[in-house]
Structure 1
Amino acid sequence: MSPTAAQDSLLTGFDEFTAARASEPAWLRTSRARAAATFRDEGLPTTRHEEWRFTPVAGITAVPAQPVAASSADAHTVGQFLFRDFGGPQLVFVDGRFSPALSRTHALPSGVRVATMAELLATDPEPLQKHLGTAIRFRQVGFTALNDAWFTDGVAIIADANVVVAAPIHVLYFSTGAGTSYPRTLVVAGANSQLSLVESFAGTDTAYVTNAITEVISADGAHVDHYKVNRESLTAHHVSSTHLHLARASVFSTHNISLGGLLTRNDINATLDGEGIECTVNGLYLADGDRLVDNHTAIDHAKPHCHSYEIYKGVLDGSSRGVFNGKIFVRQDAQKTDAKQTNQVLLLSDDATIDTKPQLEIFADDVKCTHGATVGQLSEESLFYLRARGIGKDDARALLIHAFAEDIVERIRIEGVRRALEQVLLARLPIRE
């Protein structure tokens, strides 16, 4: 099959799909048609695209793009990816559709609404019409259009002004391996509201595709704590984009933990559109074998007196590859900006590779901006220090690797999530020598 024919196949059955959803609001049907037309023009990115030159995505065309029909998953299998002692609701979506039977409900305060998009489209589509897609300023070539065209369900979290949601909310998107799913998450945080959200992605040990979009719209003074955990099958393709639109004096943090996937592409795009914003973007990724993890971040300082902090760490073994491209834009009017970016990568084998490209584009003159990237192997001096104190070579390597990765995990504020990820790290490390 030619590359063009392979990409055309990603819209096979689209007319029948939209015909079966004729009861959807007219604005959504128009949006789907526009997205399909956009994909026909764009196609999927190739390595000739600057933002994708290290990340070939041809394998995605081998998986049917049409959303999987309603399916079910084993409760025990799914339960392994829920968090113990979480203290808040845990909503489960199987192949992109909500599963009430697998979900765990929990009371939330008045003034916050947590609903599936399918439910809102059937009963109250106005919030989706008003907000869906409005935070997207940077589109992923092809993939954004495919999600806009094909998504079937997702979750919307809408918090009124001054509402404090003490219990965190967990959304698990689980794939059975039957094809492609298009998770969609929308968070609208009212003025001075506070909430925490964990998005998890997991699936059975088969080749499938996850194409996810998350949008966070934060009003003045809102606080949003966000976590994204990728524990996908090691034969799966995971492509996601997170879009943030932050207003004056809002505080936002995200921690992106990538542990699974044969190919993982994470895009995080933040627009700091008000004064006094604080934005934290952290990430940790582990890869071995011939896996690829590509992280692209863009933080746009559009207004003055804002702060952004970014730390991304990677641990690469085998013949795995990593990509980090971090951009910080400082607009002409964004005086008094304070932006810090750090990328650190630990290479555990001679065949592992990393392509890192920190970028600053500064158009203001009264700013404090720093960026840096370090790539290296385990310190022989540190290994010698530990071994001189009676610690075996393998245990010494494991301690150093774990300490390097733990720096990101320990920043997670939700205890149940932090403990679960620490257990995953203990199981994964030491990575083979």
Structure 2
Amino acid sequence: MSTLTKQDTFISLLETAPKNFDSARTLARESYLTQGIPAIKAEEYKFTNIGKKLEQNISNFTPALPIEVSTELVQSSIFEGFEGDVLVFSNGKFLSELSSKIEGVEVSLISEKSDLALGSIAKPEKDPFAAINQASFEDGIFISVPRKTQIEKAILLLSFNQSNVGQVIQPRIWIEVGDFAEVTFIDQTISIGSTPSFVNKVVELKGGVNTQLNYYRLQNEGKNTIEVSNIETDIQKDAKFTSVNISLSGDLVRNNLSLNLLGSNSEGNMYGIFLLNGKTHVDNHTNVDHTIPHSESNELYKGILADQSRGVFNGKIFVRQDAQKTNAFQQNNNILLSDDAIINTKPQLEIWADDVKCSHGCTVGQLDEEALFYLQARGIDKMQAKGLLLYAFAGEVLEKIEVESFRTYCDSLIQERLGSKF
């Protein structure tokens, strides 16, 4: 077991944490003391030395204070064509005065929910940063969609982040969706300024029986942003969950995404695209846990890496002994556009049942020279031809986004990055 020392970058957070949720915070603190800041020798972080980066840049963390957010800033930041409700955050703090009042949906502060089973989904013992968040977050948001409620338009979780060096932004979100309910969330963060910042985010999603839950996320933050997110989902019988994670920017980004299929005929879909340049480092760690018979999961992550960027994909699918008749599919495909770009990919299956259909795989390569020549032979210059081929590669993930305005927005960002616009 490790112990806190004066050199520990998180000591001040743990010592000055709020006093609510005492048992949950104590458990998380103990979990962190056991795990400590991940070193490069830690298996789960062997390709992402986030501990070294944090310790090099920051000697002691304090909570980031909210920044001023105006109505004009909110309105100008909403992507074109979006028609749903908006919940606004400033450095992780919920701003009710700038947020929509969503009809039929409960939105309140986590501090008002003393009986909330905090950490029962995103368990602090699974990741040290989840433990840090649970032990020291100041407040968060609780969202509850009642049984049989159908929210036709997506709910936008719009966050504005700006912190000083040595401050940590710790968003905490709990979302529960009642039986037979349907809802889509879009999670978007906007970085203000270029100051180096650290974001440590935890989202717990709880889907009931026969729910339809979509969670789309766009990471297009400042070049100096270090971010760790733990997003974990439980779904029950006959439920369907779909996540799409798009990573475009940041300094070092670690995404931990876990899905627990807890009922028969449940379906989980996890899709992602990471489009990296410069020295951006993005690490996607995914877990899908099949615990019961007759469930299905589909996972597809694609990476396009240029310059000196680095990507990591580590996907795990667990099929428990009782989870017969499971269908589970996982694929990671990557294109490297420079000799200095690096991808570390490790798709994994752990199967204890014998009546299953499971597959996993990965590819790493470069652009198809024949396809590139074909487009150039038809009057398309080389840069545009490359952009078109790369956009077609990314399109298989983008088409999984069912909200047209958000898909169009992401499409535009990716085309602009790839240079495939005419």
TM-score above 0.5, yes or no = yes
Contact 2:123-2:130 within 8 A present in 1 as well? no
SS at structure 1 position matched to 2:8 = helix
Which runs of structure 1 show a deviation greater than 6 angstroms over 4 or more consecutive aligned residues? none
Instruction: Provide closer, same or farther for how the CA distance between residues 414 and 189 of structure 1 changes in structure 2, counting only shifts above 3 A.
Output: same
Supply the AA of the counterpart residue of 1:421.
C
- Residue 399, structure 1, aligned to residue 376, structure 2: no
Partner of 1:369: 358
- Give me the whole-angstrom Cα distance separating, in 2, the residues matched to 1:203 and 1:168: 22
SS at structure 2 position matched to 1:41 = helix
Supply the AA of the counterpart residue of 1:215.
E
Partner of 2:217: 228
- Give me the whole-angstrom Cα distance separating, in 2, the residues matched to 1:421 and 1:6: 43
Segment drifting more, 3-12 vs 148-157: 3-12
Aligned alpha-carbon RMSD (Å): 2.1
- Give me the whole-angstrom Cα distance separating, in 2, the residues matched to 1:137 and 1:333: 23
Supply the AA of the counterpart residue of 1:251.
K
Shift of 1:5: 5.2
1:98-119 deviation per Cα after TM superposition (whole angstroms, max 9, x unaligned): 2345x341542x3x212233xx
- Of 22, 34, 47, which residue of structure 2 is paired with 1:41? 34
Partner of 1:283: 272
SS at structure 2 position matched to 1:325 = strand
Count of equivalent residues: 412
- Give me the whole-angstrom Cα distance separating, in 2, the residues matched to 1:421 and 1:280: 19
Supply the AA of the counterpart residue of 1:39.
Y
Partner of 1:132: 118
Partner of 1:96: 92
- Of 300, 310, 318, which residue of structure 1 is paired with 2:289? 300
Instruction: Provide closer, same or farther for how the CA distance between residues 7 and 255 of structure 1 changes in structure 2, counting only shifts above 3 A.
Output: farther
- Residue 55, structure 1, aligned to residue 48, structure 2: yes
Instruction: Provide closer, same or farther for how the CA distance between residues 293 and 310 of structure 1 changes in structure 2, counting only shifts above 3 A.
Output: same
Contact 1:314-1:346 within 8 A present in 2 as well? yes
Instruction: Provide closer, same or farther for how the CA distance between residues 321 and 76 of structure 1 changes in structure 2, counting only shifts above 3 A.
Output: farther
Instruction: Provide closer, same or farther for how the CA distance between residues 13 and 394 of structure 1 changes in structure 2, counting only shifts above 3 A.
Output: closer
- Of 62, 65, 72, which residue of structure 1 is paired with 2:68? 72
SS at structure 2 position matched to 1:382 = helix
Supply the AA of the counterpart residue of 1:297.
T
Contact 1:45-1:141 within 8 A present in 2 as well? no
SS at structure 2 position matched to 1:359 = strand
Instruction: Provide closer, same or farther for how the CA distance between residues 153 and 260 of structure 1 changes in structure 2, counting only shifts above 3 A.
Output: farther
Segment drifting more, 78-87 vs 284-293: 78-87
SS at structure 2 position matched to 1:135 = coil
Shift of 1:340: 0.9
Residues 413-432 of structure 1 mapped to structure 2, 5 A cutoff: 413-430=402-419
Contact 2:65-2:163 within 8 A present in 1 as well? no
- Residue 358, structure 1, aligned to residue 347, structure 2: yes
Supply the AA of the counterpart residue of 1:12.
S
Q: Please, which runs of 5 or more residues in structure 2 have no aligned partner?
A: none
Supply the AA of the counterpart residue of 1:82.
I
- Give me the whole-angstrom Cα distance separating, in 2, the residues matched to 1:170 and 1:193: 18
Residues 194-233 of structure 1 mapped to structure 2, 5 A cutoff: 194-204=182-192, 205-233=194-222
Supply the AA of the counterpart residue of 2:100.
T
Contact 1:401-1:430 within 8 A present in 2 as well? no
- Of 405, 411, 415, which residue of structure 1 is paired with 2:400? 411
1:25-67 deviation per Cα after TM superposition (whole angstroms, max 9, x unaligned): xxx1333244234323321111111111000112223345221
Shift of 1:351: 0.8
Partner of 2:172: 184
Instruction: Provide closer, same or farther for how the CA distance between residues 279 and 164 of structure 1 changes in structure 2, counting only shifts above 3 A.
Output: same
SS at structure 1 position matched to 2:249 = coil
- Give me the whole-angstrom Cα distance separating, in 1, the residues matched to 2:366 and 2:224: 27
- Give me the whole-angstrom Cα distance separating, in 1, the residues matched to 2:6 and 2:419: 40
Shift of 1:338: 0.7
- Give me the whole-angstrom Cα distance separating, in 1, the residues matched to 2:295 and 2:329: 11
Shift of 1:425: 1.1
- Give me the whole-angstrom Cα distance separating, in 2, the residues matched to 1:100 and 1:160: 20
- Of 211, 215, 235, which residue of structure 2 is paired with 1:246? 235
Normalised to the residue count of structure 1, the TM-score between the two structures is 0.90
SS at structure 2 position matched to 1:389 = coil
- Residue 343, structure 1, aligned to residue 332, structure 2: yes
- Give me the whole-angstrom Cα distance separating, in 1, the residues matched to 2:236 and 2:229: 23
Partner of 1:142: 128
- Give me the whole-angstrom Cα distance separating, in 2, the residues matched to 1:429 and 1:385: 19
Partner of 1:269: 258
Instruction: Provide closer, same or farther for how the CA distance between residues 80 and 142 of structure 1 changes in structure 2, counting only shifts above 3 A.
Output: farther
- Give me the whole-angstrom Cα distance separating, in 1, the residues matched to 2:233 and 2:136: 22
Instruction: Provide closer, same or farther for how the CA distance between residues 324 and 155 of structure 1 changes in structure 2, counting only shifts above 3 A.
Output: same
- Give me the whole-angstrom Cα distance separating, in 2, the residues matched to 1:249 and 1:379: 41
Contact 2:273-2:394 within 8 A present in 1 as well? yes
- Give me the whole-angstrom Cα distance separating, in 2, the residues matched to 1:60 and 1:343: 29
Shift of 1:313: 0.5
- Give me the whole-angstrom Cα distance separating, in 2, the residues matched to 1:358 and 1:302: 19
- Give me the whole-angstrom Cα distance separating, in 2, the residues matched to 1:255 and 1:263: 19
- Of 21, 29, 52, which residue of structure 1 is paired with 2:22? 29
- Of 363, 374, 384, which residue of structure 2 is paired with 1:385? 374
Contact 2:145-2:181 within 8 A present in 1 as well? yes
Residues 131-170 of structure 1 mapped to structure 2, 5 A cutoff: 131-137=117-123, 139-170=125-156
- Of 72, 82, 85, which residue of structure 1 is paired with 2:81? 85
1:383-428 deviation per Cα after TM superposition (whole angstroms, max 9, x unaligned): 0100110111111111111111122112211122112111211221
Partner of 1:173: 159
- Give me the whole-angstrom Cα distance separating, in 2, the residues matched to 1:231 and 1:77: 17
- Residue 105, structure 1, aligned to residue 100, structure 2: yes
- Give me the whole-angstrom Cα distance separating, in 2, the residues matched to 1:182 and 1:35: 15
Contact 1:66-1:150 within 8 A present in 2 as well? no
Instruction: Provide closer, same or farther for how the CA distance between residues 235 and 13 of structure 1 changes in structure 2, counting only shifts above 3 A.
Output: closer
Shift of 1:150: 1.9
Supply the AA of the counterpart residue of 1:132.
L
